[in-house]
Amino acid sequence: MRVAVLAVVLLDVALLALTEVAWLTLQVGTVPLPVSILVAAVTTPLAVRVVDRCFPGSRVVFAPLVVWTVVVVVFGFWSPTGTGTFPPDWRPLVLVASGLFPAVWVASRPVGADSTPSAT
């Protein structure tokens, strides 16, 4: 069952990364509205936490990070038309940072660090 959860989480992370790259160019008028940066900052650490609960203390916890980074970099820099979908400004850098840094922080915490003490 744990392997099935891992497969679903990795598929979800890949689809989220594709969506985040696609929606990075969203604008309202001439003002950029990078909602995908917020989505990456919330969903990537959640995916890492799910994998950490299935495989506590394992290096498998970094699998969502690797999948997310590869999908974002590949589809951000390359596309069928030749150029990538990343806009030539600050948004790609902030997307990568907001997806990686919170998730690495969650992955590097000790296994039981996110549990609250029980009231007995």
Residue range 44-63: mean pLDDT, rounded: 92
Helix, strand, or coil here: 5?
helix
% of the chain at pLDDT higher than 70? 89
Q: 45-84 as b/e, with b when 16 or more CB fall inside 10 Å?
A: bbbbbbbbebbeeeeebbbbbebbbebbbebbeeeeeeeb
What pLDDT was estimated at residue 85? 80
Helix, strand, or coil here: 82?
coil
- 34-51 pLDDT tens trace: 899 999 999 999 999 999
What pLDDT was estimated at residue 103? 92
Split at pLDDT 50, 70, 90, the class of 120 is low
Q: Enter the pTM of the model.
A: 0.84
Split at pLDDT 50, 70, 90, the class of 84 is confident
